[in-house]
Amino acid sequence: MARNVNVMISDIVPTGGTVPAAIYELTFEATWTANDGTPQTRTEVERFPHLVGWLITNHPQVAKRVLTDLCWQIARVKYGLDDAEDIG
């Protein structure tokens, strides 16, 4: 594994371009127990043209963290710093 590697990734910015995309759907369901002991549940269906666009639009800070980590891992494999199997 390489040492002393510095990688800089810019902010995500819109380019103004658009492409037709299929619409995807995810169902989020959370269950928990409230402080008073009662069971709680919440279910929501999210629809988006593609996950990256939905993430950037609705959760930009999360998107930056997730995409930065993903780009970092891809770059390390692409430039031979890590094996794909080592990324976890």
Q: How many domains does the chain have?
A: 1
Spatial CB neighbours of 80, under 8 Å, sequence gap ≥ 6: none
Domain assignment of residue 78, yes or no: yes
Domain assignment of residue 42, yes or no: yes
**Owning domain of residue 33:** 24-86
pTM of the predicted model as reported, rounded to 2 decimal places: 0.45
Domain assignment of residue 51, yes or no: yes
Answer for the pair 83, 1: CB distance below 8 angstroms, yes or no.
Answer: no
Residues 77, 54: Cα–Cα separation, whole Å:
26
What mean pLDDT do residues 54-64 have?
82
Query: Between 80 and 21, whose confidence is greater?
Result: 80
Domain assignment of residue 1, yes or no: no
Answer for the pair 56, 63: CB distance below 8 angstroms, yes or no.
Answer: yes
Confidence of residue 31 (pLDDT cuts 50, 70, 90): very high
H-run or E-run covering 55: helix 51-58
Residues 74, 61: Cα–Cα separation, whole Å:
20
Percent with pLDDT over 70 in the chain: 84
In terms of average pLDDT, the best of 6-10, 42-46, 72-76 is: 42-46
